[in-house]
Structure 1
Amino acid sequence: MASFRKRNVIVNARGPPGTAASTASSSPSPPPAQKPDPPVPGIRPSPINGQPTTSTGTPSLDSLLAGHAGLPLGCSFLIEEPGTTDYGGALLRYYAAEGIVQGHAVTVVGFGEQWVRDLPALVGDAEGSGKRKDSGGSERMKIAWRYERLGEFGSGIGGSRAQSHTPTRTPVASTTSTPFCHTFDLTKRLAIPPSASLKFLPAPTASTAPYSTLLAQLSTHLASTPSTTPHRVLIPSLLNPALYSPHACAPQHLLQFLHSLRALLREYPRQLTVMISLPTELYPRATALIRWAEILSDGVIELLPLPRRTASKAQGKQEEPQGLVKLWKLPVLGEKGGGVGAALGAGEDLAFLVTRRRFEIMAYSLPPADEDEEEAGPGAAVGAGGHGHGHGKATKVDLEF
């Protein structure tokens, strides 16, 4: 019968020319699979959409960026800060130090080499320092290695599902790869290697088209940089009157510059990132100029310094936050109309803490009411009972809020 076939006949064997077996065997074999390009140091795909992402040098800030665990390439980040403090400058220094350690091209606008000499020194690997050991020994539980990136329950800014900085389990051959994020010490200075790609551009001072020269220099430098080299552009203290001329602060020039900078980011979506610090003492957020600057930026964060408490009030509190953090816009997801609430959790207030070894963003809560009453002394306002020291029966005015 036709349904049976002899066992000693090889299927698709080469037959006489013109037969089906000869035609099938002479078909060209598929080309061998090409080896993937080696990973770029300091770049890894986003857990959200796979977009290439780099670290800002601050692990707590990386965990807030809409689940990307870093700043996506092709995006800009604006840091606003009222008052005369320079906490935003510390974030930019972490960002620049991380780029130098990773071998990225770093461009600083408005400052010279002295600004780079003040970068914090390298301490170690931020991911390696976050590894924990179990109580039974030095080895971690092998049964839970799949869930390491989920973090502990309730840990981090975003709760139990926040992005953790503990790396997933990798083969032994890849354990020597370059870390994604490092830790730095603000009290020491980073040793700049001779091979570091650094460029310093002066702040614009021309009266007509002040930013045209700066944009031309940035475009030329990006075109001459290899496509596999990430590029970090830092603009500290934008609109600072000590650095920028009044013509550079005019809205028609500044907004055109931000438009052109956004076009460069879209032209180099897998290579360029920009971080800007903007002191809002002379240009508050309520002005139209700053609102347009926020619209033209991919991510916006505001640092609100808190008044420093006296030594008697801060006694016993070694780590007191220096200010509050407001995230007004997040890269990629923020411009699509979502991601802000999911990244911050259910209405958590954020604060930042600057110590000698870290710039950390954490959840913030007011101190208990009992401590405030004790610090107020015996002459404080009456409590819930309606009677205070040296006062009689509470009147109607005392009971009104």
Structure 2
Amino acid sequence: MSFRKRNIALTRTPQSPSTSESTSTPSSPSSAAQQEPQHPSAPTPGVRPSPINGLPTTSTGTPSLDAILAGHAGLPLGTSLLLGETGTTDYAGALLRFYAAQGVVHGHCVHVVGVGSAWGRELPGIADGRGSEKGGSGGEKGGKMKIAYRYERLGVLGEERAGGRDRGSSSANRGDGGDDTAPAVFCHTFDLLKRLDLPVGTAINYIPIPRTTTSPFVAILQNLQRQLASSAPGTIHRLVVPSLLSPVLFPPQSSHPSAVLQFLHALRALLRQYPTRLTAMISLPLSLYPRATGLVRWAELLSDGVFELSPFAHSHLESLATSAGTTKDEEKPQGMFTVHKLPIFHEKGGGGGGAEGLGEDLAFTVSRRKFVIAKFSLPPLEGDTEAQAEAGRAAAGGETTMPKKADLEF
């Protein structure tokens, strides 16, 4: 018969230090590897996982452009974008500058082809956000709207919740030496009227175009490969090629298909070789090289994302400015933004449904401070006499051309 109390829980007997050390010693290297931390490496600044499939993505510097990239909320690493623009404008150059400025702010290595340091000194600076504080109606005092007391805290609570989500999503993207209380910004807001202060020893590599009788793209690829091989394993690289095949920057032999297509094919191979370190953005003048040519079609096939910027004519801009559907403070669109191809990453088709406004008409607006891509809709026509006359007859009780109720019944 046992005299041990039944209400006492059984506990493990303490072991001596020698015994515990002998039992906790791993018997194989695999068990020691399992005890190591799962995330030993520090997060990369300016990189976060895609909400579609978790692949690492980086920002293009334009929030509206990030929103339409197949639902990835950014440009996935290891991909390239081709921006074609018709006309003599350089709206695509603004997107390239935003892309380069975002890389400089995050500490990425930016490689620019064919232009000098003067191009880098024109990068836009970070907006201070004071422009939004100036708004308000005439009856407001101190920028506070007079509304019911029960609704005053709704906007503040929404901002706090959004800020909490941003802090939670960006805590993994904080750079080295950052403060835990200050979350890292994935996409900054840039001001075209400001200039970015380049740090001393900035990581901008200006790749010159050699004036040789052979293809100049060989030296460009060798320079890029050398930078990728000599940099640290976690360094992010951004390649910027403004006005590809432009006679102002490139020699005549560069426009031969055997030269430019080999360059795009080799660049695609580098993007696949460094799928977590390299991205590229290229602009192409479509007035010199239309999309109907086979050269541009092959260039689009070798690119992961293809967009087209079609600026409006001057007469069209005047009609939009004088239209009755536009207001005084409304931003007038400068042209149409067409999506021809988006990066897709899995066999089910990617995140096309998650993109904002995808499948609808998009237009871009370039103001003095920002570049915005939004949905486009035609304003109502001014002076529609037929509709006015019909509305007048309906108001007077006369006959109208509207269908009757009997005609609408099935």
Structure 2 length-normalised TM: 0.75
Which of 322, 328, 336 matches 1:324? 336
8 A contact 1:56–1:70 mirrored in 2? yes
Hey, what does 2:202 align to over in structure 1? 196
2:152 aligns with 135
Give the direction of change, closer, same or farther, for the CA distance of 1:335–1:362 in structure 2 (3 Å limit).
Answer: farther
**Who is 2:72 aligned against?**
68
Whether the 8 Å CA contact 1:118–1:189 is kept in 2: the answer is yes
- Deviation per CA, 1:12-70: give whole Å up to 9, x if none: 8769xxxxxx8997253665442532222111111111111111000000011111111
Report the secondary structure of 2:296's partner residue.
Answer: helix
CA distance in 2, matches of 1:270, 1:187: 33
CA distance in structure 1 between the aligned counterparts of 2:291 and 2:368, rounded to whole angstroms:
30
- Quote the offset at 1:230 in angstroms: 0.8
Residue 348 of structure 1: how far off its partner (Å)? 1.6
Contact 1:65/1:330, CA 8 A, preserved across alignment = yes
Q: Is residue 13–residue 25 contact of structure 1 (8 Å, CA) maintained in 2?
A: no
Alignment-mate amino acid for residue 314 of structure 1: A
Q: In 1, Cα distance between the equivalents of 2:125 and 2:247?
A: 30
Corresponding position of 1:314: 321
TM-superposed deviation, 1:182: 0.8
Q: Give 3-state SS (helix, strand or coil) of 2:104's partner.
A: helix
Which stretch has the larger CA shift, 196-205 or 290-299?
A: 196-205
**Cα drift, residue 187 of structure 1:** 1.6
Letter in 1 for 2:247: P
* Change in 2 beyond 3 A, CA 1:8/1:48: closer
For residue 94 of structure 2, the aligned residue among 90, 97, 101 is: 90
8 Å CA contact 2:67, 2:356 repeated in 1: no
Alpha-carbon deviation of 1:186?
0.9
CA contact (8 A) 1:100 1:106 kept: yes
The superposition leaves residues 373-392 of structure 1 with CA deviations (integer Å, 9 ceiling, x where unpaired) of: 36xxxxx8x66979xxxxxx
Match of 2:372 among 357, 360, 367: 360
Q: 1:345 to 1:335 in 2, by over 3 A?
A: farther
Change (3 A) 1:244 1:124: same
Equivalent residues in 2 for 1:41-80, closer than 5 Å: 41-80=45-84
| Counterpart contact for 2:344–2:350, Cα < 8 Å | no
User: How many Å separate the matches in 1 of 2:269 and 2:319?
Assistant: 52
Partners of 1:384 and 1:334 in 2: CA distance: 53
| Unaligned runs of at least 5 residues, structure 1 | 16-21, 150-165, 375-379, 387-401
Task: Give the C-alpha shift of residue 145 in structure 1.
Answer: 3.8
* Whole-Å separation in 2 of the counterparts to 1:148 and 1:365: 34
Q: Is the 8 A contact 1:88 1:303 kept in 2?
A: yes
Confirm whether residue 28 of structure 1 aligns to residue 28 of structure 2.
no
1:46-105 Cα deviation digits (max 9, x unpaired): 111111111100000001111111101111011010111100000000001111111111
Q: What pairs up with 1:259-298 in 2 under 5 angstroms?
A: 259-298=265-304
Query: Superposed, which structure 2 residues align to 1:174-323 within 5 Å?
Result: 174-308=180-314, 309=316, 314-315=321-322, 316-318=327-329, 319-323=331-335
Give the TM-score, by structure 1 length: 0.76
Q: Provide the rounded CA distance (Å) in 2 between the counterparts of 1:56 and 1:200.
A: 19
Name the % identity: 49
Cα offset, 1:296, TM superposition: 0.4
SS in 1 for 2:54: coil
Q: Secondary structure at the match of 1:242?
A: coil
1:285 is displaced (CA, Å) by: 0.7
Which of 343, 346, 351 pairs up with 2:355? 343
Structure 1 residue 241: Cα displacement: 1.1
Q: Secondary structure at the match of 1:189?
A: coil
Match of 1:159 in 2: none
Task: Give the distance between the partners of 1:233 and 1:340, measured in 2 at CA.
Answer: 25
Superposed CA deviations along residues 200-220 of structure 1, whole A, max 9, x for unmatched, are: 111254332331111111100
Residue by residue, what CA displacement relative to the aligned partner does 1:324-354 show, whole Å, maximum 9, x if unpaired?
1111111134997554455254732100001
Rounded Cα–Cα distance in structure 1 between residues aligned with 2:74 and 2:317: 36
Give 1:189 shift. Answer: 1.5
* Partner amino acid, structure 2, of 1:219: Q
Paired with 1:60 and 1:175, the residues of 2 have a C-alpha distance of 27
How far, CA to CA, are the matches of 2:352 and 2:11 in structure 1? 63
Query: 3-state DSSP class of the match of 1:222?
Result: helix
Q: Distance in 1 between matches of 2:209 and 2:284?
A: 14
Residue 117 of structure 1 is matched in structure 2 by: 121
Q: What SS class does the counterpart of residue 42 from structure 2 fall into? A: coil
| 8 A Cα contact 2:84 2:286, kept in partner | yes
Residue aligned with 2:72, SS: coil
CA change 1:335–1:101 in 2 (3 A) is farther
Q: Which has the higher helix share?
A: 2
| Residue type at the aligned position of 2:157 | R
Aligned to 1:398: none
3-state DSSP of counterpart to 1:254: helix
- Report the Cα distance in structure 1 between the residues aligned to 2:336 and 2:198, rounded to whole angstroms: 32
